[in-house]
Amino acid sequence: MVLQTQTFNNFLAKSPPELTFLIASSSINEPMRYSPIFLYGEAAINKGYLLEAIVDKFQKIHKKPALYATAEQFINDFVQGMRENKKALFNQKYRSNALLVIDGIQLFAGRKLSQEELLKILKEFQIQDRQIILTANNHPYYIEKLDSDLKDFCQGGLMFEIK
């Protein structure tokens, strides 16, 4: 079975709502105009396809590194980096991009150290004028056990509910 790379053109063929398209285009063509961008909506919407397409198009246009990672990947990489004393590899993977996309931040709820690390990285990106896109299944205000500073960060840019 051959997996198809999610490109922006593939995504557009699925006729996304116009506002979703404009937000995605802005994150690609005008990085940092809105950052962070926080997209939320039910899991069934499959935001991952849009995010993969954004990363693909961003890399092609800007010729800069970009990373799409699920919250689960981030948390696993962080825990492995701490356990195996490979923090440098973790830092290289997550801190060396012009665009960082983290999908599913609701999974950080109740994970204090992972939330702290994510927030440090997000603040670095913001200080260095690099693009951030975050997603969740719900508005951050309604995600229980999510650190209040992380909730505030998520709400500090452009927020959009995908339906």
List, in order of start, the domains of the chain with CATH numbers: 8-161 (3.40.50.300)
Report the pLDDT value the prediction gives residue 45, as an integer from 0 to 100: 64
Place of tokens 């200080």: 127
Amino acid of residue 14: K
Report the pLDDT value the prediction gives residue 107, as an integer from 0 to 100: 97
Report the pLDDT value the prediction gives residue 13, as an integer from 0 to 100: 38
- Helices (H) and strands (E) counted in the chain, each on its own, are 7, 5
Place of tokens 């693009």: 131
Report the pLDDT value the prediction gives residue 41, as an integer from 0 to 100: 84
Report the pLDDT value the prediction gives residue 159, as an integer from 0 to 100: 85
DSSP class per residue in 22-47:
HHHHHHHHSTTSS-SEEEE--GGG-H
Per residue of the chain (163 residues), what is the pLDDT tens digit? 444 454 544 444 343 455 565 666 666 656 556 678 898 888 756 677 888 888 998 899 899 999 999 999 999 999 999 998 889 999 999 999 999 999 999 999 999 999 999 999 999 999 998 999 999 999 999 999 999 999 999 998 888 888 7
Token pair of 98, please? Answer: 């012009």
Report the pLDDT value the prediction gives residue 25, as an integer from 0 to 100: 63
Select from 53, 40, 45 the least CA-distant residue to 136.
40
Q: Report phi then psi at 82, rounded to 5.
A: -75, -45
Report the pLDDT value the prediction gives residue 132, as an integer from 0 to 100: 93
